Structure 1
């Protein structure tokens, strides 16, 4: 009686990675639906249609599963805004514009991901590991905004305060999208953020974004 060949080590590793990814996505869904405390290994297992034993094979505790989920969200968000900066080119104005717009891209800004982020933020104060992971991401992001504002702020304007205001504005819009989704759409939130850049730095941003001179084009 013939039997199917055993999966190769490469295929087994791919299957393991796929299972872990499925569990992380299910955890994001559970955090959004049930909140932090009610998201247990059993709840995630039921949501993804796996036995608890299989879940425990990949993540033997709730904390390990949640930490992997937070790391996934952090890595995804960091890679997203870094890619937006790279695509924007060298102009500080174009880079700041791209950074603000990237926060409202549907790849990172969805109701379920915003809810998961909020669940982790609520726990970060009492969990050093969460605080460290979120803090490292925030520090790099804020440092980038400060660097861009230093290049763009007019004489006499404090670039650090300007940068902090922009970051707080973006975070506030994320929170508003989570708490009052009927009041503002993701697209509208993006336009609000870009409108604020125009207001804060009118010499660098016009109705269509960075002015021509800022992006290396001939001025009209």
Structure 2
């Protein structure tokens, strides 16, 4: 396949994926029909079968793509900070609650996929806060913090901190979904870090400029 044909192929694939995500954000999965997708993508119906083999595979790929966008945003932020466990946790929390990652489109997409996850394992793999990739990222950072603090049973403490932090962040996403116009990002971050300060008294200074720039 020539470079030009490959470029067109990738552009068409991405157009179909973005069309699904736009439709899911606005109408939900049940209303995201083939007709809706091809109208938004401005491509023929046959393109879905050519590139994905059918609508279900396309929707699964859109879920994977949405997850990749989330992680790419988090990884990009981690590249801008230091290597300590605290710096990584602070950046993950700040990133997760930022406008770039948490907004009306992304929260609508995520909860739409969450609602479908019970029936479709391919979607469940990309819409779960117990996702191994995210949990390992957070756990490894907390494990370093727990060891620095001289905590007894550091791995257990790190697991508790991981579970608690992810549960709180998911709760913040739910709050944003229900009350997007009154959601206060600074307040949300402050609540999460107050919880972490209680677990790790020598870390997560609530008065630190890093937390609330």
Give the match's secondary structure for 1:45: helix
- RCO higher in structure (CA 8 A, sep ≥6): 1
- Under a length normalisation based on structure 2, what TM-score does the superposition of the two structures give? 0.82
Residue matched to 2:82: 89
Q: Give, in whole Å, the separation in 1 of the partners of 2:159 and 2:129.
A: 18
Q: Which shifted more, 96-105 or 202-211?
A: 202-211
Contact 1:74/1:137 (<8 A) preserved: no
Quote the Cα distance in structure 2 between the aligned partners of 1:14 and 1:117.
29
Flag as ranges the 4+ runs of structure 1 deviating above 4 A.
133-137, 185-188
Closer/same/farther in 2, CA of residues 189 and 12 from structure 1, 3 Å limit: farther
What is the total number of aligned residue pairs between the two structures?
A: 204
**1:167 matched residue in structure 2:** 166
Q: CA 1:181–1:210 in structure 2 vs 1: closer, same or farther (change >3 Å)? A: closer
> Which blocks of at least 5 consecutive residues in structure 1 are unaligned?
1-7, 212-220
Deviation at 1:137, TM superposition (A): 7.6
Corresponding residue of 2:202: 203
Cα distance, 1:38 vs structure 2: 1.4
Alpha carbons 2:25, 2:108 under 8 Å: kept: yes
Shift of 1:139: 1.0
Instruction: Output the CA distance in 2 between the equivalents of 1:137 and 1:43.
Output: 32
Structure 1 pair 102–17 and aligned structure 2 pair: CA distance change class (3 A)? same
- Tell me which residue corresponds to 1:68: 61
Give the corresponding residue for 1:101.
94
Cα deviation, 1:107-140, whole Å, max 9, x if unaligned, reads 3322112111111111112212222344598112
Aligned mates of 1:189, 1:58 — CA distance in 2: 41
Map Cα deviations across residues 159-204 of structure 1 (whole Å, 9 max, x no partner): 2112210111111111211122123045654454445444543421
Deviation at 1:21, TM superposition (A): 1.3
Residue 30 of structure 1: aligned partner? 23
SS in 2 for 1:204: coil
TM-score by length of 1: 0.79
C-alpha separation in 1, matches of 2:185 and 2:19: 23
Higher Cα Rg, which structure = 1
Q: Distance in 2 between matches of 1:162 and 1:209?
A: 23
Q: How far did 1:57 drift?
A: 3.1
CA distance in 2, matches of 1:26, 1:193: 34
